[in-house]
Structure 1
């Protein structure tokens, strides 16, 4: 059996009165992430980790922010498309470990729903998806609530 690991990172600007979608869950908050798709920073970091592990470039290569097909689209669809790309090369997902960095809102109550969404999109157990969150201790653009950051690592398997 062959295994690989991948690392993903994503960042999005936060804007007032904009939807805030994280892990396929719409959070109640006065600010939300802004981007070409639904700007789901967590799913974008996971997609990048998976694509990188499979040596398939990155999310921007496959889902360009200049392509109207992806405008406003749910990032759960991008994750499903990423899984199809991996499957074409014979890869399956072993596990995902992700970290969100934002000041507000609190993420912990939403983690089970995020795990369910991600597990359904990938076809793995929620037990194989770890999501954590931290603040930036009110420092920098994250601390000022100007942006949100996500990091993800994954393990993929073949054979």
Structure 2
């Protein structure tokens, strides 16, 4: 058995007139993520972690932000494609540990729904997806509510022989 780990990070500016998508669900808020896709920071961090663990570069390589066919795309589609990409190399997901950094709104009550959506998209058990949320105590771009950031650590497994 071959075990590999990966780490992902993503950040998006927040602005009025955009929807805030995190973990595959729309989060009610006056500001949303500004991005080429739907701007789901958590999903993008998970995609980067999975691709990195399989030594397959990053989300921008596979889904470039200058590709007009990806404009406004639902990030759940990118996540499903990412899972398929690592599966072509023989990998399955062991577990995911992630953190969303967002000053407002508070999202702790939405985490179970995010876990359910992500588990469904990736075809894994909900117990294999940890999502945590934190603020930055009003420091930096997250603290001033100008942006959102997410971190993800993953473990992938390949059965050999």
TM-score range, shorter chain: over 0.9
Secondary structure of the 1:65 match is coil
Describe how 1:90-101 pairs up with structure 2 within 5 A: 90-101=90-101
Give the Cα separation in 2 of the matches to 1:44 and 1:121: 14
Distance 2:24 2:86 in 1: 21
- RMSD between superposed Cα atoms in Å: 0.5
Name the SS of the counterpart of 1:116 in structure 2.
Answer: helix
**TM-score, normalising length: structure 1:** 0.99
Q: Could you list the per-position Cα deviations for residues 131-152 of structure 1 after superposition, in whole angstroms to 9, with x for gaps in the alignment?
A: 0000000011110000000000
Aligned pairs (5 A) from 1:1-159: 1-159=1-159
Q: CA deviation at 1:17?
A: 2.4
Unmatched tracts of structure 2, length 5 or more? none
In the TM superposition, residue 121 of structure 1 has moved relative to its aligned partner by 1.0
- The number of residues matched between the two structures is 159
- In the aligned structure 2, how far is the partner of 1:45 from the partner of 1:139? 21
Q: Deviations over 1:104-141 (max 9, x none)?
A: 11111111111011101111000000000000000111
Tell me the SS of whatever aligns to 1:76. Answer: helix
Partner SS, residue 131 of structure 1? strand
Unaligned ranges ≥5, structure 1: none
- Structure 2 SS opposite 1:93: strand
Question: In the aligned structure 2, how far is the partner of 1:64 from the partner of 1:101?
Answer: 24
- 1:30-52 residue CA offsets vs partner (Å, 9 max, x unmatched): 00111000000000000000000
In structure 1, distance between residues paired with 2:58 and 2:155: 16
